[in-house]
Homo-oligomer: A and B are copies of this chain.
Amino acid sequence: MSTYAAPLNDMRFLMNEIADLKEILGFPAFSELDADTIDAILEEAAKFAAEQIDPINIIGDRQNSPKWDNGVVTVSPEYKKVYKLFCENGWHSMPGNPEFGGQGLPNLVNFAVNEMWRSASIAFALCPMLTMGAVHAIEHHASDEIKQKYLPKMVDGTWGGTMNLTEPQAGSDLTAIRTKAKPNPKGDGTYLISGTKIFITWGEHDMAENLIHLVLARLPNSDPGLKGISLFVVPKFLVNDDGSLGARNDLICSAIEHKLGIKGSATAVMSYGDHEGAIGWLVGKEGSGIAYMFTMMNHARIHVGLEGIAVAERAYQHALTYARERIQGPIIGDEDSKKNPKPILFHPDVRRLLMDMKSRVEALRAVGYFTAGNMDIAQNASDPAARKKAQSYVELLTPVVKGWSTESSIDITSEGIQVHGGTGFIEETGAAQYMRDSRITAIYEGTTAIQANDYIGRKTAREVNKETGEAGITARTLYKEIAVFADALAKDAKLGDIGKNLQEAARALIETTEWAIKTYGPQPQVASAGSVPYLKLGGIVIGGWLLAKSAQIAQKKIDAGDSNPYYKGKIATTRYYARHWLVQADAVAREIIEGGESVLGLDEPLF
Q: Which A residues have a C-beta under 8 Å from some C-beta of B? A: 62, 166, 171-173, 175-176, 198-199, 257-261, 320, 324, 328-329, 332-334, 345, 347-352, 354-355, 358, 410-411, 414, 417-418, 421-428, 432, 435-436, 439-440, 442-444, 447-449, 452-453, 523-526, 528-529, 531-532, 565, 568-569, 572-573, 575-576, 578-580, 583-584, 586-587, 590-591, 594-595, 598-602, 604-607
Contact = CB atoms under 8 A, between A and B. Distances in A.
A348 B258 contact: no
A352 B527 CA distance: 12
A523 B449 CA distance: 43
Contacts of A175: 329
B529 A349 contact: yes
A268 to B, nearest CB: 13
Shortest Cβ-Cβ A-B pairs, 7 listed: A579-B595, A173-B329, A572-B601, A349-B449, A333-B524, A348-B528, A260-B432
27 contacts: A62-B258, A171-B421, A172-B421, A173-B328, A175-B329, A199-B422, A257-B426, A258-B428, A260-B425, A320-B607, A332-B453, A332-B524, A333-B528, A345-B607, A347-B449, A348-B599, A349-B448, A352-B529, A354-B607, A417-B443, A565-B606, A568-B606, A569-B606, A572-B601, A583-B590, A583-B594, A587-B587
Contacts of A600: 348, 351
A599 B531 contact: no
Nearest to A166: B422
Contacts of A324: 604
A355 B579 contact: no
Given A171-B421, A425-B261, A580 B607 contact: no
Contacts of A565: 605-606
Contacts of A532: 349, 352
A443 B414 contact: no
A350 B579 contact: no
A554 to B, nearest CB: 12
Contacts of A333: 523-525, 528
A422 B258 contact: no
- Most chain B C-beta atoms within 10 Å of own C-beta, residue among A198, A428, A586, A601: A601
A603 to B, nearest CB: 8
A606 B358 CA distance: 11
Given A258-B427, A421-B171, A528 B439 contact: no
B349 A452 contact: yes
A439 B428 contact: no
A568 B605 CA distance: 11
A32 to B, nearest CB: 38
A542 to B, nearest CB: 18
A27 to B, nearest CB: 36
Contacts of A531: 348-349
Contacts of A444: 422
Nearest to A344: B172
A261 to B, nearest CB: 7
B328 A260 contact: no
Contacts of A569: 602, 606-607
A285 to B, nearest CB: 25
A316 to B, nearest CB: 9
B572 A583 contact: no
Contacts of A259: 425-427
A568 B439 CA distance: 34
Contacts of A332: 453, 524-525, 528
B258 A172 contact: no
B348 A602 contact: no
- Most chain B C-beta atoms within 10 Å of own C-beta, residue among A572, A578, A579, A586: A579
A351 B548 CA distance: 35
A254 to B, nearest CB: 15
A600 B568 CA distance: 13
A479 to B, nearest CB: 20
A444 B418 CA distance: 11
A584 B594 CA distance: 13
Contacts of A410: 414
A361 to B, nearest CB: 12
A480 to B, nearest CB: 24
B421 A440 contact: no
A347 B453 CA distance: 11
A449 B453 CA distance: 36
A598 B584 contact: no
A584 B536 CA distance: 14
A352 B166 contact: no
Contacts of A602: 351, 354-355, 358, 569, 572-573, 576
Contacts of A449: 347, 349-350
- Most chain B C-beta atoms within 10 Å of own C-beta, residue among A175, A452, A528: A528
Nearest to A522: B333
A453 B352 CA distance: 13
Contacts of A417: 260, 439, 443
Nearest to A528: B348
Contacts of A428: 258
Contacts of A427: 258-260
A2 to B, nearest CB: 13
A436 B428 CA distance: 15
Contacts of A604: 324, 345
A583 B575 CA distance: 23
